[in-house]
Each structure stands twice: as structure tokens, then as C-alpha cells.
Structure 1
Amino acid sequence: MKGTIRNIILGAAALIFAASAMAEAVKVEKVEVLDKRVSLNMPTTFSEMSKDVMKVKYPANNRPTEVYTNAETTVNFAFNYTVNKIAESQLDAFAQQMKQMLAQFSPKISKVDVNGQKAVLFDFVTPAADTEIHNLMLAMSVDGRLLLTTFNTTKEQAPEWLEVGRESLLSVQVNK
């Protein structure tokens, strides 16, 4: 029994180390988005998704403002600077509403500090036509409006990209 628990702990530590090592292996650069209103560290291999591809991938009523993607368009950063008014003090209430809306996906919700600003991070998996999508969504108030920054990757690519996406989201900076 002692040996089994020790092996589990060592295995978990190895997985954490491997994920960190993979995240460090990906080269990132600071990218300004949303008319330079926001910046974040993003993999250098990502580029802005064309409007035509966005129309195919995102329904009109949920289309983000900007999307950056890998070459295969299977790993994405989506930015939606909404018209919805929200103050930092309202983020907890927003998180509870989102928790109810996403209940079928059992979201994990964390309060985070992102470059000195309060934010909420949602972590959940949703079904797609031929796979599952792992989603990380960061919600924060920018100039009194709701900014949603989402990272998503296919289940198959999550071991390679999920930690990179999390680190990128936590690097979001509002440019004054």
C-alpha cells in the first residue's frame, strides 16, 4: 500500500513537471489585441484567424471580436470585449450566473489576480462533433465592460497546450 501511494505521488509529480517543461518549450511573445487595449503572452506560432474562418467556426450570435489560432485552427485564443457593463465588484455574481449556465459541464471556477486586477477563471470541457474541447475562460472588467478571453484546445492536444493557454490567460494586461 505504501509503495502504491508513493508511486501515485511520484507519477503525479512527473506529470506536473512534464506539463511545466512543455509549457516552457513553447516560445511566446507579447501580442496586443482589441485595438491595443489588451496584451498577453501568446505562442509565436499563432496568428489572427481570418473573418471567413471565424464565420465558419463561431455562430453569428456568439462570434468573438478577435481570434488567434494555431495553423490547424484546433487551438484558439478568442477575445470578446462585450458591451455588457460590469464592475470588478460584480465579478462574483457573474461567476455564479456562469456556473449555473455551464452546470452541465461542471465548471471549475477560480478567483485570480491578473496583473493587479481581479478576474475569474472558468475551466470546463464541452462536446464537439468529433472530440471534446477543453476551455479556459477569463472574465474581467476593462473600462467598466466585460472582457472574456477564452483559450480552447481539443482534448487530444490538451497535454501539449493546456498549461500554455493557462499561463497566457494569466498574463493578460490591460494597457492604459
Structure 2
Amino acid sequence: MKIAAILTLLVVLVSSDIKLVKTKVGDDITVNLPSTFYPMSPQDMSQRYPSVRQPIGAYTNEDRLVDFSVNVSATRWRSTDIEIAKDFFKASIVELYDRVDFKTEKIEVVNNMRYIIFEFDSRINGDKYSLDQQDAIRKYSYMMYLLINGKTIVFSFNVPIQIKEKWIDTVPEVMNSIKVKPNI
């Protein structure tokens, strides 16, 4: 029991040492990202974010395990429809995974902009016919949706569940540093 407490304390101490640096994502978006993050290569982006719409920006850490991305959603919402959009995006998240445990789901003002915010743990099960059930993918995610000028901008931070505790304090700090120019 003492060893577990010591390990938890070490993880918390290490996580507080993550240095953030202001990063420009496109012309109208900035965010404070960990200094160890770097832009994903086009190959990484296409593998991790398979979509006809390539992210505006996608960054990963040195181990390529932790990701931050910014994308424009194909769905178009008016900012006045934020409550309906929140329910729509929640349903979309639930459909993407085999299991979702929401920690946070709210609408909040961050740097003078109203965002839909979801924080959750997710699980994608492995092959149900395999004897090895170790291939499930479990992640902690923090997502923010901004409805602005007929666009939906999606900010996403994803961490493997095994190292969630190292990042749990840093992720909200990163997400709360997002700044978007109103003319985007």
C-alpha cells in the first residue's frame, strides 16, 4: 500500500513539471502545449485521424502516445444551437467507442468563447473472437467544440489510460489556454 502511495505521489510531482509553450495552430488559433510536443507528420496524421478533412494541426509527444489536435467538423451549427449540438456531439462520441465513462459534459466560457466540453475515459474492445482480450484500447480524452461563424472547431487531447495520472492536471491547463480569434 505504501509503495502505491509513493508511486502516485511521484507521478503527481512529475506531471507538475510539464512545461507549456505557446504554439500557433494556423493563423487564428494558439494553445500552450507541452514543450516536448511536435507537429505530426502527414503520415501520422492520416493514420491517427483518418478522414477526408485533415486536421488544422496535430501534435504528439516524443513517445507518440499523447496527442493534441485541432480539426474543423463537417457538421455546421449556429452558435445559438449550442445545447442541441452538445447532445449531438455526445451521441457521436458514444457511437465511436464500445464504452464511454463521461467525467465532464458542460458548456463553459474559455477565453471569451463558449465551448462544449467533454472529458471521458473510453474503451474500444479488441477482437471478440480472440482468446487474448489484452488488445482493448483505453484512453482518456478531453474534447472541446467551438461553434463559430458557421463552423465547428474541435479540439482534442488524448492520453492512454495507463499514463492518465501523469497528464490529468496538465490537460485542462492546455485546453484552457486555447485562444481563437473571432474572425476565424
Question: Is the structural similarity TM-score above 0.5?
Answer: yes
In the TM superposition, what is the alpha-carbon distance from 1:83 to its structure 2 partner? Answer: 4.6
TM-score (norm 1): 0.79
- 1:80 is matched with 71
Quick one: structure 1 residues 23 and 121, their matched pair in 2 at CA, closer, same or farther if it must change by over 3 Å?
farther
- One-letter amino acid of the counterpart of residue 163, structure 2: Q
Q: Equivalent residue of 1:85, what SS?
A: coil
Whole-Å separation in 1 of the counterparts to 2:24 and 2:181: 9
Further displaced range: 146-155 or 104-113? 104-113
2:174 is aligned with 1:173? no
2:41 is aligned with 1:50? yes
Whole-Å separation in 2 of the counterparts to 1:32 and 1:90: 29
In the TM superposition, what is the alpha-carbon distance from 1:88 to its structure 2 partner? Answer: 2.3
* Alignment map for 1:4-19 (pairs within 5 Å): 19=12
2:167 is aligned with 1:161? yes
C-alpha RMSD over aligned residues: 2.4
Whole-Å separation in 1 of the counterparts to 2:14 and 2:181: 29
- One-letter amino acid of the counterpart of residue 26, structure 1: I
Contiguous gaps of at least 5 residues in structure 2: 125-134
Whole-Å separation in 2 of the counterparts to 1:38 and 1:94: 22
Question: Which of 89, 97, 118 is 1:122 aligned to?
Answer: 118
Would the aligned equivalents of 2:39 and 2:59 in 1 still touch at CA under 8 Å? yes
Contiguous gaps of at least 5 residues in structure 1: 1-10
- 1:25 is matched with 17
2:100 is aligned with 1:105? yes
Q: Equivalent residue of 1:110, what SS?
A: strand
Question: Which of 39, 49, 72 is 2:30 aligned to?
Answer: 39
In the TM superposition, what is the alpha-carbon distance from 1:121 to its structure 2 partner? Answer: 0.8
Higher helix fraction (1 or 2): 1
Q: Equivalent residue of 1:102, what SS?
A: helix
- 2:129 is matched with none
Would the aligned equivalents of 1:83 and 1:146 in 2 still touch at CA under 8 Å? yes
- One-letter amino acid of the counterpart of residue 105, structure 1: V
Quick one: structure 1 residues 36 and 47, their matched pair in 2 at CA, closer, same or farther if it must change by over 3 Å?
same
- 1:138 is matched with 144
Provide the identity percentage.
Answer: 20
In the TM superposition, what is the alpha-carbon distance from 1:62 to its structure 2 partner? Answer: 7.0
